[in-house]
Structures are given as structure tokens and as C-alpha cells.
Structure 1
Amino acid sequence: MKKVVLSLLLIGGLSGVAHAQSDVSLGLKAGGSLTDFVGADAAFYEKQFGFHAGIFANIGITQLVAFQPELLYSQKGAAQPLTGSNEKLIDRLHYVDVPLAFHVNADGLFFEAGPQVGILAAAKSKVGSASTDIKGRYNDVDLGYLAGLGYQRKSGLGIGLRYNGGITKVQQKFTVGNTTIQARSRNEAFQLYLTYSFGG
């Protein structure tokens, strides 16, 4: 009798593991970004194009809700027109982003929202072919949020559109004489991307 009970428990456990695994899929994503600085002190900045790419895991919580943590390389930043010149000064920021997205699914169509943290890996200022390291001007950590929509199944191709908004100020404060200056500017990015999910 013990063997029968143990066998039933083992079969039940294995089927539970198989069901749990069927609700998890791994995937790749990549796409273009339209980025800018926004805020009270960011009126003179202009949008610029970049890209982002990385990996994700889509974890089904219920039939309608999923949790999708991601690890992305993301280009952000903004451009400034130079007075009396056709050139632009481009501040290009390179982040390792960790979005924590919650999906509400409806037969592949999803709506998403959640928090995000970005770690600044590098920052360059470029005019024409001249490039300068400006990582010291920017904060190492960027806290923000995301919201978006798209179409994604547990396997195969998907597409999405996402907005990233920064909560923390992107630039470091600095001191001039006895005055401390903190620019009121934050990151923002619109991301259009493709995904590929590997089974569930």
C-alpha cells in the first residue's frame, strides 16, 4: 500500500512540475529606441535613436497574469543642437536595464506595467567624430517604470511597444562656489521591439 501511495504522490508531483514548466518560457528581444531627457531643465534637448536587446523569462502566475523579468542592454540619452552649426552634441548613455514587468494576457495580446532599475555602464558625448567620456556626469543608478502593450505567445515571434519613464534625476549634482546645482532632467524612452519565445 505504501508503494502505491508513494507512486501516486510521485506521479502527481511530476505532473505538477511539468505543468509549472509549461507556464514558463524563455526568450530574446531586440528593437529600436527613441530616447530623450524630460523635466523642467530639459527643454533644449532633442530626441535621438538607439537600440536595446536582451533576454527575458515569462512566468505564468494565472491564466491571465504573468511576470516577466528581463535583462537588457539599452542605449539612452539625448541630443543638443549647437548654435551656429549643423552639428549636434549627442550624449549617449549605455545602461544594463532590469525591467520587472507584469503582463495581463488575452490570448497573446498583453498589457504590461512595472518597475525598472538601470545601471549605467558607460556614457559618451559626441560631436561629429570627436568623443568624450562623460560617465562621471551621470548617476550610476536610474530608477523608473514601464508601461506597454504587444502580442506574445509562449513560443514563436512577438512584437511590443513600451514606454520607459525615469523617476530619479539622470545627471549628478555639482557645486559652483557655494551653490549646489541639480539639473531636473530624467530619462525617457519609447521602445519598439520583436521577441522570440522558446516554448512553454
Structure 2
Amino acid sequence: MKKIVMKKAWVMILSVVTSFTAGSLFAQEQQTSYESRPTPKLGVKGGINLTNLYVNDVKNENMKVGGTFGLYAKLPVARGVSIQPEVLYSMKGSQLEYNNVLGSGKYRFNLDYIEIPVTAVFNIAQNFSLHAGGYAAFLTSAKIKDVDNNGNINGVTTLNRENFRGTDFGLVGGVGFDIGNATLGARYSYGLQEIGKDNSLSGQLTRDSKNSAFSFYIGFGF
């Protein structure tokens, strides 16, 4: 009888220690090695966008490179869970290759946005997190750039913003890896709003198109 009681006591002790240890590790998953508890952070981030426009299926043959940079905050709300709002300048769009009697090159269709993603951050390991949420964006400019095969810019045409929808919105998902106060991350954003309007040729040509983007970034929190 005594052995049974002692065995049960050891099982209870091990269970409590295991639960406490697991809880402590999970709580620390939002912390860096320099902190004693989860701490709200404000930071800067920047990187590159690989963007495209799609109608029915996202394809990569017309993908173009752009930049993204801005500010973010990471706000702990529970053990291992944070809310991360951001304000970014994000360059999106697509490109199309041409080859005719006048030469060959690419037309780059550039759409620049002020973008506001808000994601839930789930720390599934001490330095690794999953991000999921959505974004809203506000169009600042629309241009077409003619670039030849040598990288020379032959001309830039500014398009009327009124021919395009001034807002965009969509879904966001990604991963992050923390190294001290630095974060390396990758993200995919899937637009749900058609970018063009019917009142012009440029708007009609892009009426059914939506934004998509892969982003790779580095951030520094303070």
C-alpha cells in the first residue's frame, strides 16, 4: 500500500514539474535572450516583394521584384501569442515581356501602396513563429516602366490613380525566425480586391486582376 501511495505521489510531482516547465518554455517563446518576460516591441523592417497580378489562378511567369519597408509592433496578448500590426510602403504589380520591330524588353506595371497588415503571431518554438491575418492597403501611385534587356529605362508613364481602385485588401500568412532582437521572415499575401475600374482602358484591362505577393524581410525590434 505504501509503495502504491509513493508511486502516485511521484507521478503527481512529475506531472506538476512537467506542466510548469512546459508552461515556462511556452511563455518564454515570445521573449528574446535579453528579456525576463514577454515585452511589447516596436521595430523597423524591410525587404523585397516578388509580386504578380492574377485573375483566376496565381502564376509566376509575369512576376516582378519590388521593395517593402516600414514599421511594426509586436504586442503579447497570451502565452505564445502576439498581435502584430504594421504600416508598410509596399511595391506591387506585374511585368510583361515584349519583342517587336522596335526592340525587346519588359513593361513593368508598378502599383505602390501604403499597406496595413495585422497578423496573429503564434510562437510554436522559442525562436520560430507562424503568422496569419489580413491586410488593407491604399494606392499611392500607378506607373508603367519600359525597361530594355540591358536594364536601361526607356520611359516611364504615370497612370491616373482614378482609373484604379484606391483600396485593396486580402489575406496574409507567413513564418518568422527570431535571432535576438532581429527577425527574419517570409510572407505571402493574397489579394481579394480587383484593382481596376471600368471607366478607362487601363482600368478595364486590369478590372479582373488582383494582387499577390511573396515577401522576404528582416526586422529589428526595440
Distance in 2, matches of 1:88 and 1:41, equals 22
Q: Work out whether residues 173 and 182 of structure 1, in 8 Å CA contact, stay in contact via their aligned partners in 2.
A: no
Write 1 or 2 for the structure with the bigger share of helix: 2
- Other-structure match for 2:214: 190
Residue 133 (structure 1) shift: 1.2
Give the superposed CA RMSD.
2.4
Residue 88 in 1 paired to residue 114 in 2? no
TM-score norm. by structure 1 comes to 0.79
Q: How many residues align?
A: 174
- With over 3 angstroms needed to count, the CA separation of the structure-2 counterparts of 1:191 and 1:43, relative to structure 1, is closer
Distance in 2, matches of 1:90 and 1:70, equals 27
- With over 3 angstroms needed to count, the CA separation of the structure-2 counterparts of 1:62 and 1:44, relative to structure 1, is closer
Q: Work out whether residues 31 and 193 of structure 1, in 8 Å CA contact, stay in contact via their aligned partners in 2.
A: yes
Query: Of residues 59, 64, 77 in structure 1, which corresponds to 2:93?
Result: 77
- With over 3 angstroms needed to count, the CA separation of the structure-2 counterparts of 1:27 and 1:129, relative to structure 1, is same
- CA offsets per residue over residues 34-74 of structure 1, 9 Å max, x none? 00001149879711001100001100011111000000000
Q: Moved runs in structure 1, 4+ residues, more than 4 A?
A: 41-45
Shifted more, 104-113 versus 67-76: the winner is 104-113
Structure with greater contact order relative to length (CA < 8 Å, sep ≥ 6): 1
- Other-structure match for 2:138: 119
Over alpha carbons, which structure has the higher Rg?
2
- CA offsets per residue over residues 82-111 of structure 1, 9 Å max, x none? 242421111111100000011001312110
Q: Where in structure 1 are there 5+ consecutive unaligned residues?
A: 1-20
Residue 66 in 1 paired to residue 66 in 2? no
Query: Of residues 41, 46, 51 in structure 2, which corresponds to 1:25?
Result: 41
- Other-structure match for 1:136: 162
Q: Where in structure 2 are there 5+ consecutive unaligned residues?
A: 1-36, 147-152
Overall identity of the aligned pairs, in %: 26
